[in-house]
Amino acid sequence: MDEALALRLSHAPRYPAVASAAIREMVRQKGLTLRLNDRGEIQEGVIVRHLVLPGQVANSKAVLRFLARDISPDITVSIMAQYSPTPHVAGQQGLDQELNRGVTKEEYDEVLDEMDFLGLETGWVQDLDSRDTYQPDFAQSHPFDPGLRPTGLKPS
């Protein structure tokens, strides 16, 4: 929800406006209610996944406020704590230094408290230690091998 942050970290101009419009359109087309098939795969509805970044609690809270107030508190949200610095970022100084660590318990708890305060009750919240589990191995030919996918999401 912070255009300057999106530009600085992702080189994504207008990201908040584009992402907000895309979420609104997905909800318009698919609705808020999740419909799953007999294999548990989503067939209809929208799930918004949000990765909490270290040092960016205010941005995460702004995302949650947008979802609850501008879309609906009934939207399904998946809050992710799995951020871990890549080898490219690890040890860097300057621009990406704030990303040289994982999310702290205090930061994550503050984001989850905001989720509760806003009444966002549908979805999943990752365990804080998920960053140790959900790391693709880009040295492998299949870094996201589905056979290696861990579990760990908890209903919120």
Residue 151's pLDDT is what?
Answer: 38
Q: How far is CA 39 from CA 30, 35, 36, 43, in A?
A: 19, 11, 8, 10
Residue 113's pLDDT is what?
Answer: 97
**CA separation for the pair 141, 144 (Å, rounded):** 9
Three-state DSSP class for 104?
A: coil
Closest Cα partner for 85 from 103, 73, 67, 68?
103
Residue 135's contacts (CB-CB under 8 Å, 6 or more residues apart) are 82, 84
Residue 144's pLDDT is what?
Answer: 65
Q: Is 11 left (phi over 0), alpha (psi -120 to 50) or beta?
A: left
Residue 40's pLDDT is what?
Answer: 84
pLDDT tens digits in sequence order for the chain, 156 residues long: 999 999 988 889 999 999 999 999 999 999 999 988 898 888 999 999 999 999 999 999 999 999 999 999 999 999 999 988 877 666 666 556 778 888 999 999 999 999 999 999 999 999 888 777 777 766 777 776 644 433 333 443
- Contact indicator for 74, 122 with CB cutoff of 8 Å: yes
**CA separation for the pair 40, 69 (Å, rounded):** 29
Residue 153's pLDDT is what?
Answer: 37
Per DSSP, the chain holds a count of helices (H) and strands (E) of 4, 6
